[in-house]
Copies of this chain bind each other. A is one copy, B any other.
Amino acid sequence: MIDKYSPIPIYHQLEEYIRGQIENGTYPFDTTIPSERELAERFEISRMTVRQAINNLVNDGYLYREKGRGTFVNRRKVEQKLQAVTSFTEDMIERGLTPKNKLLTFHIIPANGKVASILNLQEHTPVYEIKRIRIADDSPIAIETTYLPANLIKGLSEEILNRSLYNYIENDLSLKISEATQEIEAASAKQQDTAHLQIEKGAPVLVISQTSILDDGTPFEYVKSIYRADRYKFVHKMKR
């Protein structure tokens, strides 16, 4: 089980062993695993080495310790998925909904002052402007306007949008998406949005403005999305 002469560190082998025992049910949730001293004796290794393995598993959320009682298997899901940059489509699939889109407009326009400033461009630089209705389970959920610098995101087509914009940027254009900043605020639906979202004027909407950047810091995307408050809420996990 543990090979003291392997180039793989002993604590790492022990980690894998314990994780395996958790996953195959030998150590059920909320029960103790063998004590540090027992593991040390069983594998003829030092207790400090056992502690190093257990420390890592505690940090990864697999185990938790209680003074004087023992080390327990954590019942909590280990997924620990922090918020990652995802597209609407990826987001909806994760929520178990079927996403669809309805393209309203798709053309190149000169950037106005606000868009130019956000995308770090000169005013009037050509940008794609794409307006879409986002649909989940056959009912409208958001109206979304995307701006992309036309000189950076070249060769965009409606077909690419329907597949995956992010895949196109990363795979075909070989650009590296690094991170995105979102501003989330509440507002009341304006007259021009009521028809597309099938809501009354003044109904609450969630407005999410996202700016995405490449790994060299270049902004490549600005998206403003207006979500129906009754059909969408934003969920977010944070660590202390």
Please report A residues at the B interface, Cβ cutoff 8 Å: 48, 59, 64, 66, 72, 74-76, 82-85, 177-188, 202-207, 215-217, 227, 229, 232-240
| In the complex, residue of chain B having the shortest beta-carbon distance to the beta carbon of A180 | B238
Q: How far is the CA of A177 from the CA of B240 in the complex (A)?
A: 6
Measured in the bound complex, the distance between the Cα atoms of B143 and A131 in whole Å is 35
Closest chain B residue, CB of each to CB of A52: B55
B85 & A217 in contact (Cβ 8 Å cutoff): no
Q: Is the CB of A83 within 8 A of B82?
A: yes
Q: How far is the CA of A177 from the CA of B239 in the complex (A)?
A: 9
The interface residues of chain B lying within 8 Å CB-to-CB of A188 are 188, 202-204
A-B contact pairs, 20 of them (CB 8 A): A48-B48, A64-B215, A64-B216, A64-B217, A66-B216, A74-B216, A74-B217, A83-B83, A83-B236, A84-B240, A177-B240, A179-B239, A182-B236, A183-B233, A183-B234, A184-B234, A185-B229, A185-B234, A188-B188, A188-B203
* Nearest neighbor of A188 in chain B, beta-carbon distance: B204
Q: How far is the CB of A189 from chain B (nearest CB, A)?
A: 9
A137-B204 Cα distance, complex, nearest whole Å: 26
Contact yes or no, A240 B186, CB < 8 A: no
Can you name 17 extra interface pairs (CB under 8 A) apart from A179-B237, A186-B205? Answer: A82-B83, A83-B83, A83-B238, A83-B239, A85-B239, A85-B240, A179-B238, A179-B240, A181-B235, A181-B237, A184-B236, A185-B229, A185-B234, A186-B227, A187-B229, A188-B204, A204-B205
Which B residues are in CB contact (< 8 Å) with A237? 179-182
Within the complex, the shortest CB–CB distance from A28 to chain B, in Å, comes to: 15
Contact B186 A187 (CB under 8 A): yes
Whether B236 and A181, one on each chain, are in contact in the complex, defined by CB atoms closer than 8 angstroms, is yes
A80, closest chain B residue (CB): B179
Closest to A48 in B: B48
Contact B74 A239 (CB under 8 A): no
